[in-house]
């Protein structure tokens, strides 16, 4: 059986990559992908801990989390499409009309 530490290592690497992308990238689609990475790193943790314990709660939560991620992606991409229609770009640096 694969040791738990490896799962946690995988999850933290994914989380770090996601966070790095979130901070450095400007393209809206890339940001959405980074957010997926963050969410899925959390899902790996949930499933891994659940598998090492006689308890299915974690896996159930992972299912919820995937559903949530799907909904979030749906809304997010819809916003991005609307933005693209309006501005002709999805570079988030250019989309700042709502700030002061």
Partner 1 sequence: MYSDLAYLIVGLPVLAFVLCLFIGSRLPRGGGFLTVLATLGGLIISLGIFQEIYPRGIIHQSMRWFGDFNVGILIDPLALVMLLMVTFVVMLIHTYANGYMNGDPGANRYFAEAALFTASMLGLIYADNILQLFIFWELVGLCSYLLIGFWYRKPSAAAAAKKAFLTTRVGDVMFLAAIIVLYNNLASLNLTLNPGEYLLQFPVIYANLALIPPDQLTLIALGFLGGAVGKSGQFPLHVWLPDAMEGPTTVSAMIHAATMVTAGVYLVARMFPLFYAAPHGLTAVAAVGAFTALFAATMGLTAFDIKRVLAFSTVSQLGFMMAGLGVGAAVGAFSVGVSIFHLIGHSFFKALLFLCAGSVIHAVNTNDMREMGGVGKYMKWTMYTMLIGSLSLAGFPLFTGFFSKDEIIVIAYEYGVAINFLPYIFLVLAAVLTAIYTFRMWFSVFTGKERSNYGKHESPWVMLGPLVILAVFALAFGFVAQEGFYNYVGDNFGQYEEKFGVDVNFAELALIGGHEVLGEHGAPAEGEHPSAEAEEGHGAAGEGEAGGEEAEGEPWYIQILPIFIAIGGILIAALFYWDRAKKFDPSQVTGDKDPIRKMLLKGYYQHEIMTGWISEGIVYGTALICNTIDIKVVDGWLNWLSAWVMGFAGHVRKVQTGVVQNYVTALMLGIVVLVIAIAAIRLAMEVGLI
Collapsed DSSP state (helix, strand, coil) of residue 99: coil
**Nearest to residue 29, comparing CAs of 75, 91, 85, 82?**
91
Segments of the chain assigned E as strands: none
Which range in 4-12, 16-24, 70-78, 80-88 contacts partner 1 by CB under 8 A? 16-24
Residue 22 sits in the site that holds partner 1 (CB under 8 A): yes
Collapsed DSSP state (helix, strand, coil) of residue 54: coil
Cβ closest to partner 1, residue 44 vs residue 92: 92
Interface pick for partner 1 out of 26, 78, 81, 86 (rule CB under 8 A): 26
Interacting residue ranges for partner 1, rule: CB under 8 A: 19, 22-26, 31, 92-93, 95-96, 98-100
């Amino acid at each position: 059986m694969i040791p738990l530490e490896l799962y946690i290592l995988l999850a933290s690497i994914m989380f770090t990559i996601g966070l790095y992308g979130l901070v450095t990238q400007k393209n809206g689609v890339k940001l959405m992908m980074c957010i997926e990475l963050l969410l899925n790193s959390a899902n790996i943790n949930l499933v891994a801990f659940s598998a090492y314990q006689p308890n299915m709660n974690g896996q159930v939560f992972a299912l919820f989390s995937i559903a949530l991620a799907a909904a979030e992606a749906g809304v997010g991409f819809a916003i991005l499409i609307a933005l693209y229609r309006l501005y002709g770009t999805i570079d988030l640096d250019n989309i700042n009309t709502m700030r002061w």
